[in-house]
Amino acid sequence: MSGIIILVIDPDRFLETEGGRVWTPERNGEAWRLAHAALEEALAAGGVDRVVIVCGLQGAGKSSWIAHQDQDAAHVYVDAALPGARHRAPIVAIARRYRVPVDAVWIRVPLVVALERNRQRQGDKIVPETSIRSVDRLFEPPTRDEGFSVVRIVVA
């Protein structure tokens, strides 16, 4: 499988229904369980040379950044806000079990920019402003102490 992007894991995709995205605390917990299982499955299949956690405020541009990455890399990208070390730790632990290095990419934007980008989203893709403000308050920049091989800050 080397030579291709293996997977982009976005837990929000597990919240999709025929009627659109539906968020509840229970569905969110299940979405993360499924996201972790998808990561485990990708790593168990082999051929992945790196896991890249792409974190930051909702509306920061994480998905856009991922879309512009090297299409020849055998990476798994995890696309989620992941505001604290405790949120990122399960992903790091799964990768460690498979001896796959984990990088962190923090897409850093001012809160006002994230809020404006969010307002430009369509329908059920709009994140409640209170959620974005909460992530902004809780956000802990990723560090190598969390187990990352590389920590990169992208100012968008």
- Considering the entire predicted model, what is its pTM? 0.92
Which pLDDT tens digit goes with each residue over 11-27? 999 998 898 888 889 99
Looking at the chain, the whole-number percentage of residues with pLDDT higher than 70 is 96
154 bridge partner residues: 107
Q: How far is it, in rounded angstroms, from Cα 33 to Cα 129?
A: 25
> What is the arithmetic mean of pLDDT over 105-129?
95
Q: How far is it, in rounded angstroms, from Cα 119 to Cα 93?
A: 35
CATH homologous superfamily of 7-155: P-loop containing nucleotide triphosphate hydrolases (3.40.50.300)
- What residues contact 112, with CB distance under 8 A and at least 6 apart? none
Long-range contacts of 13-19 (CB under 8 A, 24+ apart): none
Confidence band for 6, pLDDT divided at 50, 70 and 90: low
5 or 155: which leads in pLDDT:
155
- Segments making up each domain of the chain, as ranges: 7-155
Sign of CA dihedral 107, 100, 43, 96: negative
pLDDT at 5 over 70: no
- What residues contact 66, with CB distance under 8 A and at least 6 apart? 8, 54, 77, 79
Residue among 128, 146, 133 at smallest CA distance from 28: 128
In this prediction, residue 3 carries a pLDDT of 47
Residue among 131, 132, 78, 133 at smallest CA distance from 105: 78
Phi, psi of 27 (to 5 degrees): -65, -35
